Amino acid sequence: MENLNLIDTFSEFKELKNIDRATMMRVLEDVFRSILLKKYETDENFDIIINIDKGDFEIWRNRTVVEDDVIENKNLQITLTEAKKIDEDYEVGEEVTDEVKLVDFGRRTILSIRQNLTARILELEKDNIYTKYKDKIGDLINGEVYQVWKKEIYVLDDEGNELILPKSEQIPSDYFRKGENTKAVVVKVEMRNNNPIIILSRISPVFLERLFELEVPEIFDGLITMKNIKRIPGERAKVAVESYDDRIDPVGACVGIKGSRIHGIVRELKNENIDVINYTNNTQLYIQRSLSPAKVNAIKLNEEKLKAEVYLNPDQVSMAIGKGGSNIKLASQLTGYEIEVYRDIKEDDEDVDLDEFGDEIEGWVIDELKAIGCDTAKSVITLSAQDLVTRTDLEEETVKDVLRILKAEFE
């Protein structure tokens, strides 16, 4: 019965933890041999037979038959009298094999075996999980949300292993409920207090790359290469793609008919705007494309300092900068150039709408100027600073800053 209890314990772990047969056999034998060494001081004359499928095992001891009066080691030798009790045909010098019953070890030893076995298998499983996920760094994981905490959530993979998605690795607008499925990539695997810790991320650029591989067969098959990815998680992302096959339009393939491919990615990223552009070695063209959807008039490069001055029509400036500066920030990261945006004001341009200065002048200031009938830059700079202070609720210092910004556009 004790045999069955031990094998049952072992079988439970086998089923739950998915440990391979050879490893299980080795662990079981090592555990039993450690007990034999403790009890008999040697395990060399023992054979351990394990049958996992049947759920049992046997321990057999091999001893040499000696005369009754010359026995020296009862573990390695057996007297002729004792041997004949097993079989009358035994003679001196022959080898006797008899089974050692587990009950002969005593209940305390059996309990120790079970505890040792449990500890060994748990340790082995931890090593297996660590090794498995160490090779999965950068892989996409689809798991079930198991626990939701303030600073992190626990996700279970398809084998029931517990993975961690910290708050710092979640998209700001992420919201999770227990029992729902979520996707993330493995970014870090480490051992803490002898326990494997697997860290997931949804903000890593690699996560976006894996989603594209999932949705775009040409990327998965290697026909389209993702040259660079930059993200502001939950807000905007820019992806540079390239195809070595002239017959394939990399941007069109990534977006899909009517956006069918990219829509699924956008939904997974909580409506993060994704700009997909064609990669090129032409730096000016690359910068121009990276500022999409804004249209660029001209670019001046300083390749030594990795700086670029970009000139656009006034109505394109806000688009180039983007909400909170997100578009120009990502374009700079994507190209490796520090990008500065300038309004391209031509001599024959009559005027510039005040709204085009929204990135430099605060909205409430523009509203104050509009309230006195000044809707364009020239309508403001034709007035003196004192007039503007008198006719609006603006401070003199604010007015001077506004005039400086507006006049600079016509210099």
- CA-to-CA distance for 332 and 85, rounded, in angstroms? 91
For the entire predicted model, the pTM comes to 0.68
Tokens of 193: 């207090």
Question: Are 303 and 309 spatial neighbours (Cβ–Cβ below 8 Å)?
Answer: no
CB atoms within 10 A of CB 241: 23
Domain 280-344 maps to which CATH number in 3.20.20.300, 3.40.50.150, 3.30.300.20, 3.40.30.10? 3.30.300.20
Distance, CA of 142 to CA of 155 (rounded, Å): 9
∠ CA(150), CA(190), CA(136), 5° rounding?
95
Bridge partners (DSSP) listed for residue 192: 195
What pLDDT, on a 0 to 100 scale, did the predictor assign at position 10?
55
- Nearest CA to 308 among 323, 298, 319, 295? 298
* pLDDT at site 14: 52
Cis peptide leading into residue 166 (ω within 30°)? no
Looking at residue 350, its pLDDT comes to: 64
Q: What is the secondary structure of 298-341 as a DSSP string? A: EEEEETTTTEEEEEE-HHHHHHHH-GGGHHHHHHHHHHS-EEEE
DSSP 3-41: HHHHHHHHHHHHHHH---HHHHHHHHHHHHHHHHHHHHS
Farthest-apart Cα atoms in the chain, separation:
128
Q: Write a three-state SS string for 85-144.
A: HHCCCCCCCCEEEEECCHHHHCHHHHHHHHHHHHHHHHHHHHHHHHHHHHCCCCCEEEEE
The class level of CATH for 354-408 reads mainly alpha
Q: Decide if domain 136-203 falls under CATH 2.40.50.140.
A: yes
pLDDT given for residue 18 in this prediction? 58
- Each of the 411 residues of the chain gets a pLDDT tens digit; together they read 445 455 555 555 555 455 667 777 787 788 888 888 888 888 888 888 877 666 667 888 898 888 888 888 888 888 888 888 888 888 888 888 888 877 777 778 777 777 877 787 788 888 888 988 999 999 999 999 999 999 999 999 988 899 999 999 999 999 999 999 999 999 999 998 889 999 999 999 999 999 999 999 999 999 999 999 999 999 999 999 999 888 899 999 999 998 999 999 999 999 999 999 999 999 999 999 999 888 999 999 998 889 999 998 877 888 888 888 899 999 999 999 999 988 776 554 567 888 888 888 888 888 888 877 677 888 888 888 888 888 788 888 998 998 888 888 776
The conformation of residue 355, written as its DSSP 8-state character, comes to: G
Backbone angles phi, psi at 221, to 5 degrees: -85, -5
Nearest Cα neighbor of 82 from 96, 103, 101, 72 is: 96
Helix/strand number for the chain, H first, E second: 15, 15
pLDDT score, position 148 = 94
| Residues with Cβ within 8 Å of residue 52, at least 6 apart in sequence | 7, 10, 11, 14, 21, 24, 25
Q: What is the 3-state secondary structure (H, E, C) of 42-71?
A: CCCCEEEEEECCCCEEEEEEEEEEECCCCC
CATH code assigned to 2-132? 3.30.1480
Do residues 74 and 82 touch, judged by C-beta distance below 8 A? no
Rounded distance, CA 191 to CA 198, Å? Answer: 9
Token pair, residue 250, equals: 């990399």
Where are the domains positioned within the chain? 2-132, 136-203, 280-344, 354-408
Contact status, residue 6 vs residue 13, Cβ threshold 8 Å: no
Judged on CB neighbours under 10 Å (0-12, 13-18, 19+), 345 is middle
Predicted local distance difference test score (pLDDT) of residue 4: 47
**First-residue to last-residue Cα distance in the chain:** 97
Which tokens sit at 82? 């004792």
Instruction: Provide the β-strand partners of residue 202.
Output: none
